[in-house]
Amino acid sequence: MSVHNRSRYGRYTGGPDPLAPPVDLAEALEAVAEDVMAGYSPRHALQEFLRRGGRSREGLDDLAGRVQQRRSDLLSRHRLDGTLSEVQKLLDTAVLEERKQFARDVRMDDTDRALREMQLQNLPKSTAAAVNELASYDWQSSTAREAYERIKDLLGREILDQRFAGMKQALEGATEEDRAAVAEMLQDLNELLDKHRRGEDADADFQEFMAKHGQFFPENPQSVEELIDALAQRAAAAQRMLRSMSAEQREELMRLSAQAFGSPELMAQLGQLDANLQALRPGEDWSGSERFEGEEGLGLGDGTGVLQDLAELDELAEQLSQSYNGSRLDDLDLDALARQLGQDAAVSARTLAEIEKAMHDGGFLQRGADGDLKLSPQAMRRLGRSLLRDTAKQLSGRQGRRDTRVAGAAGEQTGSSRQWEFGDAEPWDVTRTITNAIRRTIADGGDPGRGLRLAVGDIEVTETEARTQAAVVLLADVSFSMAAEGRWVPMKRTALALHHLVTTRFRGDRLQLITFGRYAQSMDIGELTSLPALREQGTNLHHGLLLAGRFFRQHPSMQPVLLVVTDGEPTAHLLADGDSWFNWPPDPETIRVTIAELDRLGRAGTQATFFRLGDDPGLERFVQRMARRIDGRVVAPDAGDLGAAVVGEYLRAHFRGRPYDDADWAT
C-alpha cells in the first residue's frame, strides 16, 4: 500500500466523543437515593455524588485535589530571579571578555588599561547598578560589547513578554525596524484604550488597529472588550509576579528596566498601558502575591505565565467547589481544565456535568409544592426496580428457586394444562383438546378430515394458580433508635422494593405504608423515602395498628396482610383525645391497648409477620407473644437482609404458604 494512502488514528480531541455511550445514571441515581433515604435533601445528595464521583470516575473533590497539587508543584518548582540571573551571566561574560581584550591588546596605553581595569574591578555588587554604570562605557572588545547589548535586548523582550505572551521569542534577533513596529503598536494601543476609556465609540478604531497590529495578538480578540480582558489578565499577573519577588529583586528589576532596548520611551508606553488597563479592569487582582520556593528560575515573561496559571487554577478551584449561589457544573471552564490538568480531567468534568444536567432535565428530580427538589416518581420506579432486583438475588441465594405450582383453582393461568377431572371449572385448553381428539381418531383408524367426535379423555383444562388479592400494610418503626442503630436506610430500601413489587407485579393488591414513632401516619413512598430521622421519643405501635385496621376495612374483599418492622417494644399509645402518651419502660396500659388492637386484626383473619431488628430481650419476648396471639410469624433478619425477609414473607402470605417462582416477580 502506498504511504500516501495510509491513515493515522489518535484520541479524539474535538470536544465530547461523538461515539461515547450515553451517560449511565443508574449509579448516580442509586447514590443520590441512598443519601436521600439517609436524610439528605436531593440537592445535597446530588452534590455529594458529584463531589465523590463514581466507582470508575473522578469526582469534583478529586479534580480539586489535582488542581491544588498542580498549584503546589508550580510554587515549589520555580523561583522568580530567572531574568536577573540571565542578566548577571551576560554581565559576567562582558566583563570577562573585556579583560581578555586588555591582555591581548599590547598597544593599549598602560594608564588607560589601568583605569579601565579599575572601573571593572570596582563595579557595584548590585547587578542593576553595574549595568547602569556601564551604559556609557566604551567597550574595547566587540564580544564584550555584544554581550552587554544582549542585556538590553533581553530586558526589552522580557518586559514586553510580561504584557504580550510570546514576545521574548518573537523578538529574538529583532532589528531596529522590528522594535520600531513594537513601539508604534504600543502607541496605537494606548490611543485605542484611552478612547475606549473615555466612553467614545472605538469599534472602527479596533478594527483598524487589528488590521495593522494583529500579528502581536495570537488570541485573535473580536472586540475591544476581549482585547482588554486578555491584556488585563496578563498585566495583572505581571504585577502579582513583581509583588511576589523580594524587595531587593524588585528594586533591581526597576533599575534595570531603564536599559530595556536602550529606550526609556518603552517603559513610559508600558506604564501608560498598565494605567489604562487598571482603570478599565479594576476587578482584576493587581495586588496579590505568591510564595515561590523552587530552584528553577523564571524569566519575567515565563513567570508572568506561571502567575496566570496560578490565577486560572484558583478560578478552577472556585468553580469545582460549587460553593457560590446558583453554581452549576455548566460553569466549569473545560478548556482551562484541559490546559492545566490534561484532557482526561476535562472529560471527567464534562461527564459529571452531563450527569447533573440529566438528573435535572431527565425527570429524576422535580420541584415539590414547597419549591424544594424531590425524587420524581420516575426516579422512584427506577430505584424500586433496582432494589427489587437486589432483593431477588438475596432470596434466590438464600432459599433457592421455588417452582412448584398449585393447579386446579381459579386464578391466573400458569401456561400448562392437565386432563379434565370431575368438578373442574377451569376453561378448556382448546388446542390441546383438539390435538388429543385427532391423535385418538387416527389411532383408531378413523379419518379426522371427515369430522371429529370428542371423548371425555380428550379434554384438557388450563392450569391456574390460586392468587388471592391482598390488602398489605407495611408498618415501619421510625423511632430514633432505627436511625441511631443503622436501620433507617435498610427500612426505606425495604419499603421501596416492596412498593415496586406490588405496584408492578401484583397490581391487584393494595399496599399501605404506615410509619409509627410518637404518632403513626400513612405515607406515600416518596414521603417515606425522604423522611428525616427525628429525635422523638415513642414507639406507638398501637396507633399504627389502628391505621392498619382502618385500611383493611376499606378493602373488605381482600386478604389482610400485616408486616411489622420494629426494633423496640411499644412505649406509646393513643389516648381518647388523640394525644400520644409515652412512658419508658413500657407501661402496662400501652401493652394492653396494643394487644387489644392486634386481637381485633386477628379476628378479621389478618396474616401477620413481625420483623424483629436487634437483640433486645424485651422486644423478643413481646413480638413472640404478639405472634402467638394472632397465629403469626416472627422473623429476626439482619438489617442488610430486611428487604429480602419482608418481600419473602409478603410472597409467602400472598401464595398462602405455597411455593412460588422468583421468575414471576423478579424480572
User: Could you tell me if 586 and 571 are in contact, meaning their C-beta atoms sit under 8 angstroms apart?
Assistant: yes
Q: Which amino acid is at 62?
A: D
The per-residue pLDDT for 449 is 78
Kindly tell me the sign of the dihedral angle through the C-alpha atoms of 22, 497, 516, 585. negative
Alpha helices by DSSP H, 105-141: 110-121, 127-133
List, edge to edge, every strand of the sheet that includes 520-523. 520-523, 510-516, 470-477, 559-566, 607-612, 633-635
Q: What whole-number distance in Å separates Cα of residue 499 and Cα of residue 98?
A: 94
Q: What whole-number distance in Å separates Cα of residue 332 and Cα of residue 318?
A: 9
- What is the bridge-based pairing of β-strands 78-79 and 296-297? parallel
pLDDT tier at 48 (50, 70, 90 boundaries)? confident
Residue of 384, 569, 610, 399 whose CA lies nearest to 494: 384
How many angstroms separate the Cα of 212 from the Cα of each of 161, 162, 179, 185, 221?
Answer: 20, 22, 15, 8, 14
The dotted CATH code for 470-664 is 3.40.50.410
Among 83-97, 143-157, 405-419, the range scoring the smallest mean pLDDT is 405-419
- Residues 203-220 pLDDT 10s: 999 999 999 999 999 889
The per-residue pLDDT for 322 is 85
The per-residue pLDDT for 510 is 93
User: Residue 602 pLDDT > 80, yes or no?
Assistant: yes
- The separation between the first and the last C-alpha atoms of the chain, rounded to the nearest angstrom, is 53
User: Could you tell me if 633 and 649 are in contact, meaning their C-beta atoms sit under 8 angstroms apart?
Assistant: yes
Among 350-364, 475-489, 570-584, the range scoring the smallest mean pLDDT is 350-364
Read off the DSSP letter of residue 35: H
The per-residue pLDDT for 6 is 45
Residue of 167, 147, 148 whose CA lies nearest to 158: 167
Q: What whole-number distance in Å separates Cα of residue 512 and Cα of residue 499?
A: 9
Please give the backbone phi and psi of residue 198, each rounded to the nearest 5 degrees, phi first: -80, -5
The three cell numbers locating residue 306: 506561571
CA dihedral in degrees (610, 614, 620, 624; nearest 10)? Answer: 20
Q: How many residues does the chain have?
A: 667
Domain ranges of the chain: 20-78+313-375, 81-291, 412-465, 470-664
The three cell numbers locating residue 628: 402467638
pLDDT tier at 663 (50, 70, 90 boundaries)? very low
The per-residue pLDDT for 446 is 83
User: Could you tell me if 472 and 561 are in contact, meaning their C-beta atoms sit under 8 angstroms apart?
Assistant: yes
The per-residue pLDDT for 193 is 95
Chain centroid offset of residue 416 CA: 51
Read off the DSSP letter of residue 363: T
- Residues 629-654 pLDDT 10s: 999 999 999 888 888 888 888 888 76
Residue with cell 403469626: 632
* pTM (two decimals): 0.66
Helix, strand or coil, per DSSP, at residue 473: strand
Q: What whole-number distance in Å separates Cα of residue 249 and Cα of residue 128?
A: 10
- As a whole number, mean pLDDT of residues 293-302 equals 90
Q: What whole-number distance in Å separates Cα of residue 306 and Cα of residue 294?
A: 13
- Residues 115-168 pLDDT 10s: 999 999 999 999 999 999 998 999 999 999 999 999 988 988 898 898 888 888
pLDDT tier at 7 (50, 70, 90 boundaries)? very low
User: Could you tell me if 473 and 562 are in contact, meaning their C-beta atoms sit under 8 angstroms apart?
Assistant: yes
Residue of 51, 130, 65 whose CA lies nearest to 98: 130
Q: C-alpha angle 51/52/58, rounded to 5°?
A: 95
Element at 90 (helix H, strand E): helix 82-104
With both helix axes pointing from N to C terminus, report the angle between 264-280 and 176-197 in degrees, rounded to the nearest 10.
30
How many angstroms separate the Cα of 34 from the Cα of each of 40, 437, 467?
Answer: 9, 60, 34
Chain centroid offset of residue 167 CA: 41
User: Residue 664 pLDDT > 70, yes or no?
Assistant: no
pLDDT tier at 422 (50, 70, 90 boundaries)? low
CA dihedral in degrees (234, 238, 244, 246; nearest 10)? Answer: 170
- Residues 514-561 pLDDT 10s: 999 999 999 998 888 888 887 788 999 999 999 999 999 999 999 999
The per-residue pLDDT for 9 is 46
Residue of 127, 124, 123 whose CA lies nearest to 84: 127
Q: List the beta strands (DSSP E) in 395-478.
A: 412-419, 460-465, 470-477
Q: Indicate the burial class of 252 (C-beta count within 10 angstroms; 0-12, 13-18, 19 or more).
A: buried
User: Residue 36 pLDDT > 80, yes or no?
Assistant: no
Q: What whole-number distance in Å separates Cα of residue 620 and Cα of residue 62?
A: 47
Average pLDDT, the chain: 85
Please, which residues bridge with residue 581 across strands? 573
Count of helices and strands (H, E) across the chain: 25, 14
